Amino acid sequence: MEILFSLFLHPVAAVIGGLLATLPIIIHLIRRTQYKKQPWAAMEFLLAAQKRMRKRMVLEEWILLALRILVILLVAFLLSRWLGGGAAGVGGEHFVILDDSISMADARNDRGTRKTAFDSAMEEGIRLARKLGATRGIHHLHFFLLSSMNEPVLEGRAGEDLARQAELKLARLKPSYYSLDPTKGIAAAVDKWAASPDALVSSHKILHLITDCRDADFGGQRQEESRRLMTRLVGSGASLRIVDVSDPERPNGSAIPIGHDNLSITGLSCESRIVVEGAATEFVATIKNFGSSPRRTFFHARRDGVEDFSATQPVDEIPPGQEVKVRFTLVLGRNNLGPKISSGDDPMKRDRERLLHRSWVRLTGEIDDQTTTGLAEDNVRDLVVEVVHKVPVLVVDGAGRSGMMPGGDSFHIDAALSALRDFDPEIRTVEELSKTRLELYPIVFMLNVGELPPGEVDRLLNHVSEGASLSWFVGDRTRPAFVNGLFQDKNGLFPVLLAPKPADPISPQEKLDARLLDEQPKILFPDPTHPVVAGVYPNRLDFRFLPVDRHWPAQARFLWDKGNGLVKDIILLANKRWKDDRQRAAFRDKALALVATFPLSNPAEAMFRTGLDSAIRDIREALLSQSQFQLARALEKTLEDGGELADQKTNRPARPGLRQLWSKPPFVATAQAMGELLREVQFGDPLWVERALGRGKVFASMTMAGTKTTLGAVGAEAEGWNEWGSGSPMSWSYAALMKELVRHLLKSGGGDIGSETKSTDLVGNTFELVRDASFLSGGVHERFDPQSPTKVPGFVPESQRIGINFADAPVGGKIRIRVAPSPTPGVLYLKMSPAVVPGQPIPGPEDGELEAFAFNLDANHEGDLRRVRRDLLEIPPPGPGTGRVVLSRPGDGHDSMLEPPRDTSESWWIYLVVFGVLIGEQAMAVFCSHHQRTIKGEGLVKKSPTKGTRVIPLEPVTLGGLP
Amino acid sequence: MAREKRNDDSRRFLDPAVLSRLVRLDLRARQAVEGYLIGLHASPFFGHSVEFVQHREYSPGDDIRHLDWKVWSKSDRFYIKQFEAETNLRSTLLVDCSASMSYGNPAWNKREYASTAAACLAHLLVGQHDSVGMMAHDSDMRLVVPAQSSSRHLEVLLSALEMARPGNTSNILGLLRRAAETIPQRGLVVLFSDLLVDRSALFQGLRMLRQRRHDVLVFHVLDAEEIDFDFRGTTRFEGMEQPDHLLCDPQALRDAYHEVVSEYLLEVRRGCTKIGADYLLVRTDDSLAVVLNKYLSFRGDPRAARARSGQEKG
């Protein structure tokens, strides 16, 4: 039947014609059964005649039969409008894709009324239905929304009826809040035409893509893909008509038309994933100007719907094409206080209390957009943050309870965190980890842990990927095989690869020398601006008194740091002595090569000669010493030399600093090379390292958190690895660094303020929550509060359900909650019923673990209303027989494109063929004596006209002598 | 004018359509012959004499009455004196009564036509005091009427013709051989048949008759439909003497049929001519005058006689 549809306009007539074509055969067979009997004497002649005529008769009969069948078929072909093998069509197959991405809500002032690009698209669709109805041929229209290409919103034969339906149906449609790619619509249309049997009916296929033709959709990175898809479409024989409905209308001669200016809030984030109640918390809103001129606006923030004027501020001068970050500080409180959690309670009970009384605050940022054009929907953005009384920090000590004894790892961590008002450490053993609700703890410490069960490793990986931070402190219990496996098999759950064993213990004399005589700082800070060390960096030289006697070295750096920026060094150990003479010789060569570049003989730099001589002297002396530190200090002194003031007493003139020399362009390279050499000389093994993982981060300290070992070893092995936590003049820095570390670990994303957390997603995205089945009963209640912008005209918020899909039964002890894509911006609240735990109070109907998620539109992409260049859309036809791409304005004719080519049944020669076959049939019928013809006067013996006798018209023969 | 009108009136009795209405054969024959004779002038063919031809040596079994005693007295040898026919012409009518002869209109089919024509000839011959015999045959000899010349003999002939009904297949060679063997004296043998037989057998039989110095006159009787083959519509032709049948569209076969029939007629005509037998094709819708005319032409044409005698010598 598909083939019939591809060949005929009226396939039913073709089928009937095909059946009628058997009529001559049927008549022939009927006539074979209806005959008269004739006794016949001259059978001999009849059989001979039949034998003589047999082949000819059969051939003639077959030809006649074929001609008669052909006549009927041709007539049937004409009646059923033969299309000629699908090479042409008598109508058109039109896909109309209406771009309903949120950018189509771009409004303009149309004679006092607000009209969007989507409104223009609807009008164009209705106009097209009406116009095609008046165009020659039969045209079928299929209206699709770009957001739902699976099902057409309206389809039918073009005409007034369809236009009226379109007026009724399309008028009710509104643009979605999704960010949609119009080129995906092209791809979908190609696939549909390839898969649809209707596509065979007509080769006159046109895709009408009614869109706002933004550069963000067709240009930039999408340029190649859109061009490839358009080429693929027209290569299949279809044509593409792109209708640009943006305002103002695209002039014919203009390559890049002007578009509407637009301001958007492209981001709203909190400095930390969890906000401490009553603490001042910094928030950042990112506002981008997509227009072509500087813009000003006013920023407002609403907390749970109520404007907080402390955040309200003007935003001055946003340059075109750039963004500004608006920072504001809020002090948030909990809206669900709950009972006081006592440290004496059962740990599981504490977890339960925390979960049942989670509190979320919805923060809405909004900007004023004074213009009447542009997109209003992207001026609002939501954020949800969890507000806690104190941030719970999970501390897992591999030494168990002994780690909580003085000098133990968890003892020192607990002491450091307990001193902070905002953090609430929760110390657990490795065995208790499986009963712990990890989602409660944004920060997890793993102290001197030898190994974890595989299930817990998976939980931790999931937890970190969702935004938590995992902090490792190695120790004497650490098993390198296990942690290295975490690096390789678990996407870097441990940030480095450890060497097979820790550094050897040092002798008591070395310890004493290190504490009393060694001037070298024991730890170095490669990035002084890093938030963890920025506070202690000014005291960096004091760390010569910090004893770090043992650490666990990392493997060669290239094995675990690919240079992609994922791994960051926070603290490094200092190199102490040359490893061997070869290393020393190598550094000496490098240093001397650098010294050789110093401008000693340059008269223009003669004023630096004294400083340079002093620096060269220091470097040469350092190269003679056994300590790398000496060379590092000489290099650092050379780089940081500030010069000397004049001394009146000794009549010494002022000496300019070498920093002045290195700032000169000819010597910048020398200074950089010196800096590289300095880092190479002084930076040793990593001590504190962090690495981004998913939405969260992992941290590792290569030395112990405590001051004592716990394995019960004897001798040097039993000595503590450091005296950072206590017993050292620099122990004060332990608490300070820990404070900054947990605050850093609490920060969302990669640690830089401004990135949004897991709780913020885009409309149209679906995600999945994985929770432990042992803690939840499976019941979930949802509530969705849509965004309620105060500045969007005509916006009527309505509460709705977005649908949640649960697995019927827990799989592998997990409950998977699939959250369907939200069609509108807003905040989704999920209240998950807890499971009944023996020994714990049965949860009431109001009890539930609350989680909130904010959905925003993709303002970064959709807010950019700049329009694409004409040449990116109007691609030339790839070859003969292919379709074409035209860029048109609403209401443009393109009649030649819309009108289908003439089909075969309209050709004059097909009628000529029918006429010829008909004549042939008649001639053949007469020839085969199947038509009436006179036989009077014929025959072998004719009657003599005169004598009334008959003569035989044969050759003259002698009849027995008669004439 | 009156003479011509009279001739026309008399010839209407020769019309097959008229004759077919007459049930009795004698009436038909008399009507035909009298109608024919009335239209003629005085016959130039009446009266024949008997003449001596030759001697031949006596052989046992010869009738001793024909011994020439004068020769015996001179040469002391027995010779038989042979004469030409002592009586008037001895004619034998051979009428085909095979099944194929019944084809056609039952009132006037080939057999009826042949019987009527034979009766006409008998009537004519008896009227001239010639002796007439008759044989009717199909696959075998059905009737044999010895030749006589009495007027009562005519009734016997006519009765015999009426009794002869179509039977089986035709055995023409048997008939002609029988005729050649049983006709004691040379005479005229007239064959009425549709000749739907094996041609080689036909020619062989005719040759046997000619070898016995019989004058042979062949009336080839065919129905008009057998020549014209004017049938329409799908028809199943069933053989009358053969078990064959053929379902066909006769119009499609018509041309080829005409070709085959033409070749057949030509073959028969040439065969008869070669043998020295007079041949005439008659259709059942032909006037009987054709038959009588042919006969009388045959009897009175000296060229034909010379041709016959020449072929006999040859």
**Residue A764 shares a structural domain with residue A742:** no
Euclidean distance between CA atoms A572 and A550, whole angstroms: 13
- In chain A, residues with a C-beta closer than 8 Å to the C-beta of B195 are none
How close is the nearest chain B Cα to the Cα of A36, in Å? 5
**Residue A208 shares a structural domain with residue A121:** yes
C-alpha Rg value of chain B to the nearest Å: 21
How close is the nearest chain B Cα to the Cα of A963, in Å? 10
Q: What's residue A917's pLDDT?
A: 86
Tell me what the mean pLDDT of segment B16-45 comes to: 52
Q: Evaluate whether A430 touches A400 at the Cβ level (below 8 Å).
A: yes
Contact B251 A929 (CB under 8 A): yes
- In chain A, residues with a C-beta closer than 8 Å to the C-beta of B290 are 949
Euclidean distance between CA atoms A269 and A301, whole angstroms: 12
Mutation for testing the B interface, residue in A29, A30, A942, A962 having most B CBs under 10 Å: A962
Interface of A with B in 607-626 (CB under 8 A): none
Residue A908 lies inside a defined structural domain of this protein: no
What are the structure tokens assigned to B90, written together? 């001895």
Residue A552 lies inside a defined structural domain of this protein: yes
The vertex-A235 CA angle with A231 and A240, nearest 5°, equals 65
How many structural domains are present in chain A?
A: 4
Per residue in B186-230, pLDDT (tens digit) is 788 889 998 888 889 999 999 998 888 888 889 899 998 888 888
- HSE-CB at A280 with a 13 A cutoff on CA atoms is 5
Interface of A with B in 931-960 (CB under 8 A): 935, 938-941, 948-950, 952, 954-955, 957-960
Domain harbouring A802, CATH code? 2.60.40.10
**Residue A221 shares a structural domain with residue A292:** no
Place of tokens 């902090």: A471
Q: What's residue B45's pLDDT?
A: 36
Q: How many CB pairs under 8 A join A and B?
A: 159
Mutation for testing the B interface, residue in A31, A33, A43 having most B CBs under 10 Å: A43
Three-state secondary structure call for residue B136: strand
Per residue in B70-104, pLDDT (tens digit) is 888 888 888 888 765 444 678 888 988 888 888 88
**Residue A380 shares a structural domain with residue A274:** yes
Q: What's residue B7's pLDDT?
A: 41
The helix-helix angle for B199-211 and B250-275 (nearest 10°) equals 20
**Residue A224 shares a structural domain with residue A344:** no
Full domain range(s) for residue A154: 91-256+869-901
**Residue A594 shares a structural domain with residue A482:** yes
Show Cβ contacts of residue A258 under 8 Å, excluding neighbours closer than 6 positions: A248, A292, A867
**Residue A603 shares a structural domain with residue A674:** yes
**Residue A591 shares a structural domain with residue A574:** yes
How close is the nearest chain B Cα to the Cα of A936, in Å? 10
**Residue A79 shares a structural domain with residue A103:** no
The vertex-A585 CA angle with A584 and A591, nearest 5°, equals 90
Q: What's residue A702's pLDDT?
A: 94
The domain boundary residue, chosen from A746, A770, A800: A746
Mutation for testing the B interface, residue in A30, A40, A926 having most B CBs under 10 Å: A40
Euclidean distance between CA atoms A784 and A121, whole angstroms: 30
Judge whether B270 is closer than 8 Å to chain A, CB to CB.
Answer: yes
**Residue A734 shares a structural domain with residue A602:** yes
Judge whether B96 is closer than 8 Å to chain A, CB to CB.
Answer: no
The residue of chain A with its CA nearest to that of B218 is A960
CA distances from A285 to A267, A268, A382 (A): 6, 4, 10
Partner residue facing A52 (CB), from B256, B294, B298: B256
Residue A438 lies inside a defined structural domain of this protein: no
> For residue B30, is pLDDT > 70?
no
Cα dihedral: A189, A194, A198, A200 (round 10): 130
- In chain A, residues with a C-beta closer than 8 Å to the C-beta of B233 are 35-36
Contact B239 A43 (CB under 8 A): yes
Q: Which CATH class is domain B87-313?
A: alpha beta
> For residue B171, is pLDDT > 80?
yes
Euclidean distance between CA atoms A881 and A898, whole angstroms: 16
Partner residue facing A35 (CB), from B236, B244, B297: B236
Contact A35 B233 (CB under 8 A): yes
Q: What's residue A449's pLDDT?
A: 93
Three-state secondary structure call for residue A881: coil
Element (H, E) at A33: helix A23-33
Euclidean distance between CA atoms A955 and A405, whole angstroms: 145
Domain boundaries, chain B: 52-83, 87-313
The domain boundary residue, chosen from A746, A769, A791: A746
Count of C-beta atoms within a 10 Å radius of residue A881: 9
Which residue type occupies A455?
G
Contact B238 A49 (CB under 8 A): no
Judge whether B240 is closer than 8 Å to chain A, CB to CB.
Answer: yes
Q: What's residue A87's pLDDT?
A: 41
- In chain A, residues with a C-beta closer than 8 Å to the C-beta of B223 are 41
Contact B249 A49 (CB under 8 A): no
Q: What's residue A532's pLDDT?
A: 92
The residue of chain B with its CA nearest to that of A942 is B228
Q: In which residue ranges of chain A is pLDDT below 70?
A: 1-7, 9, 82-90, 196-203, 255, 338-339, 343, 370-371, 748-760, 778, 789-813, 840, 845-846, 881, 893-896, 901-905, 929-963
Going by C-alpha positions, the residue among A293, A292, A318, A239 that lies closest to residue A867 is A292
One-character DSSP codes across A582-635: HHHHHHHHHHHHHHTTS-SS-GGGGGGHHHHHHHHHHHHHHHHSSBHHHHHHHH
Euclidean distance between CA atoms A106 and A377, whole angstroms: 9
Judge whether B211 is closer than 8 Å to chain A, CB to CB.
Answer: no
What are the structure tokens assigned to A692, written together? 């981004």
Show Cβ contacts of residue B146 under 8 Å, excluding neighbours closer than 6 positions: B133
Going by C-alpha positions, the residue among A782, A777, A866, A772 that lies closest to residue A822 is A782
**Residue A145 shares a structural domain with residue A14:** no
Three-state secondary structure call for residue A8: strand
Kindly indicate whether the ipTM for this predicted assembly is greater than 0.85, answering yes or no: no
Three-state secondary structure call for residue A908: helix
Q: Evaluate whether B183 touches B212 at the Cβ level (below 8 Å).
A: yes
- In chain A, residues with a C-beta closer than 8 Å to the C-beta of B244 are 43, 47
**Residue A27 shares a structural domain with residue A114:** no
Euclidean distance between CA atoms A681 and A627, whole angstroms: 10
How close is the nearest chain A Cα to the Cα of B194, in Å? 9
The domain boundary residue, chosen from A723, A746, A769: A746
Q: What's residue A845's pLDDT?
A: 67
Going by C-alpha positions, the residue among A667, A317, A694, A728 that lies closest to residue A490 is A694
How close is the nearest chain A Cα to the Cα of B170, in Å? 11
Mutation for testing the A interface, residue in B261, B272, B301, B306 having most A CBs under 10 Å: B261
Per residue in A535-587, pLDDT (tens digit) is 999 998 888 888 888 999 999 888 888 877 788 999 999 888 777 888 888 88
Residue A394 lies inside a defined structural domain of this protein: no
The vertex-B73 CA angle with B72 and B75, nearest 5°, equals 60
